[in-house]
Amino acid sequence: MFDISVREDFSSAHNLRGYKGKCESLHGHNWRVEVVVSSKKLDKTGMVMDFKKLKEIVYSAIKDLDHKYLNDIPYFKKVNPTSENIARYIFNKIKPLVKKESVALKNVSVWENQGSKATYSA
């Protein structure tokens, strides 16, 4: 099995509902997103898929989050915008796009800072 990954960044603000602590107040992050895809075989050029194409797919999933207040996005009006839920949101947006590329989406990780990340895989 071969894995490749790409990272992209976005900035946004949120506040956590039902949380007692500093994060219940409006605050922002410079989020880092890592997407890992896998394949049992390589294409004719010897790649799982083109890194450039994977970066385009990731960007298409996060562009609507960039410089936004996440709590205003319809999905996050019902789902608390935690790092875990952001990772799942991005995973679900990317999954059908990478499937078209004949690769499997392994996981999506979201860092809210250098020392804290959440990973979602199905």
Q: Please report the domains of the chain, with CATH numbers, ordered by start residue.
A: 2-120 (3.30.479.10)
Q: What are phi and psi of 83, to 5 degrees?
A: -60, -40
Burial class (CB in 10 A: 0-12, 13-18, 19+), 58: buried
Residue 33 to residue 119: CA distance in whole angstroms: 10
pLDDT at 51: 98
Q: Which of the residues are catalytic?
A: 23, 67, 112
3-state secondary structure of 83: helix
Q: What is the pTM of this model?
A: 0.95
Structure token digits, residue 107 = 């996981």
- Candidates 36, 57, 46; CA nearest to 101 is 57
- Candidates 87, 63, 81; CA nearest to 14 is 81
pLDDT at 85: 98
pLDDT tens sequence for the chain (122 residues)? 999 999 999 999 999 999 999 989 999 999 999 999 999 999 999 999 999 999 999 999 999 999 999 999 999 999 999 999 999 999 999 999 999 999 999 999 999 999 999 999 98
pLDDT at 59: 97
